Amino acid sequence: MTYDEAVAWLFRQTRAGGPRGLERVRAVLERLGHPEGRFSAVHVVGTNGKGSVVAFLEAILRAAGRRYGATTSPHLVDFRERIRTYRGLIPREAVVEFVEWARRQSFPERVAFFDYSTALAFRHFAEAGVDLAVVEAGVGGRLDATRVLPRVEAVVLTNVSEDHLEALGSSLEAVARDKAGAARPGVPLVTAAEGPPLGV
């Protein structure tokens, strides 16, 4: 399998209208030996500015000489831009090897693109010896695949406005409630949310 074929296969994986939830990504991570437990993370959620926050934190960690990982989406040119470490972009061979593995698996529910991409990132971070990953959520917070991270050092909730209403709820307050689902007891949360979303 070539790298382009592997990426094409990933993009063909959809939930096909199924419900949001963490079961699919948890099933993949369990079969991978739970790589998500082998590094700490900063979880970045919000409506706008997530990629910028990740880029700032990534630059800080690089300047500090940390063994960091980072995820963002979407990519501009190459899928590998989504998964980076202190060593650079994830290697093509790692993407191909993961997809070949994934194609041999059978899961109770159809696993979607973002679930696979998240599992691939976490596996790559574990294998690269990352000690701190900056992880951008996909949609929302409460049921986003990235919510499975067990060792979160801080949560950044950039801001909240009406986005993904079909998935997160039909009001600004409902969107805020879903994104606030990324908050964790005893873990610092930084936000620039204002108005009703901040109240939520």
Note the pLDDT of residue 127.
98
Calpha distance 8→13 (Å, rounded):
9
Q: What is the mean pLDDT of the chain?
A: 92
- Residue 164 in this model has a pLDDT that exceeds 60: no
Say whether pTM exceeds 0.85. yes
Note the pLDDT of residue 94.
98
Calpha distance 21→125 (Å, rounded):
23
Note the pLDDT of residue 167.
55
Per-residue pLDDT of 103-132, as tens digits, reads 999 998 889 999 999 999 999 999 999 999
Mean pLDDT over 58-87 rounds to: 96
- Residue 10 in this model has a pLDDT that exceeds 70: yes
